[in-house]
Amino acid sequence: MRLDTAVFGGGCFWCLEAVFKMIKGVKKVESGYAGGSAQDPTYQKVCSGTTGHAEVVRIHYDPEKVSYRLLLEIFFASHDPTTLNRQGNDMGTQYRSIILYTTPEQEKAARDYVQELKDDKAYPAMIVTEVEPLEKFYMGEDYHQDYFANNERAPYCRSVVSPKVNKAKNEFKAVLK
């Protein structure tokens, strides 16, 4: 089985990780950092806003079972692509909306989908999602992996992650594991 990868940032990586782990064809989701210039970033450094990195998820998926286009649709449904450097109360460049493509086909698909959303006026405000090449993905610390599954009762998970998971469950029932 050949796996492809997709890398998205849309606020806190815990939210996106929890959503994408539920999707058929997604084999693995890793929380980490990308999109900046600092070498070997840590959570503390990324949170300082000085690394240029965003909190992102790297999704390993079977393209025979889930398309990159569907992953883009889920990504946009799982965050607000119109808020610059912010998702809810999480503020800073590390929470920006970003698609980090790994192939020319992904770049085209991402740019085409963003343009389609703009043309359809899918959002009341301008989409600010960046579309950039993935230079390097840095794996997040162990305690960030499977965070929602391991901390479902934590206040942040209950108030921020759970609503996004529930929304995805309702909107993407047909493609849930």
Residue 135 half-sphere exposure toward CB, CA atoms < 13 A: 12
What residues form DSSP beta bridges with 99?
Answer: 8, 131
Determine contact, residues 110/131, Cβ cutoff 8 Å: yes
- Cα separations (Å) of 14 from 31, 85, 95, 126? 7, 17, 11, 25
Whole-model pTM: value is 0.96
Which two structure tokens, joined as six digits, stand for 35?
Answer: 């999109």
**CB-based burial, 133-155: b 16+ in 10 Å, e otherwise:** ebeebbebeeebbbbbeeeeeee
What are the backbone angles phi and psi of residue 5, rounded to the nearest 5°? -125, 150
Residues of the chain with pLDDT under 70: none
Q: What is the structure's pLDDT at 57?
A: 98
The candidate with the shortest Cα–Cα distance to 128, out of 165, 56, 79, 67, is: 79
Check whether domain 4-164 has CATH 1.10.1040.10, yes or no: no
Q: What is the structure's pLDDT at 89?
A: 87
Which residues are marked as active site?
Answer: 12
Domain locations along the chain:
4-164
Q: What is the structure's pLDDT at 25?
A: 98
171-176 own/partner pairs: CB under 8 Å, 24+ apart: 171/77, 172/22, 172/23, 172/74, 172/77, 175/23, 175/24, 175/25, 175/66, 175/70, 176/22, 176/23, 176/24
The number of residues making up the chain comes to 177
